[in-house]
Amino acid sequence: MDKIVTLCHQGVRSASTQSILISVGFLDVKNMTGGIDAYSIMADPTLPRYR
């Protein structure tokens, strides 16, 4: 089965989505902790961010 990564701005809604997907039978579901905002800071802090 394919791996699934859930994403949202700060990781809260995607964590809920991860739980829902696991509860209905998806096995390999990950949430990007901190969301897209945290990733943009780690990947390239010069990127513009929104709040």
* pTM over 0.85, yes/no: no
Give me the residue spans of the domains in the chain: 4-43
| Percent above pLDDT 70 for the chain | 96
Q: Are the C-beta atoms of residues 43 and 34 closer than 8 Å to each other?
A: no
pLDDT mean over 21-32: 96
Q: What is the mean pLDDT of residues 20-24?
A: 97
The predicted pLDDT at position 48 comes to 83
Give the separation between CA 51 and CA 31, rounded to whole angstroms: 20
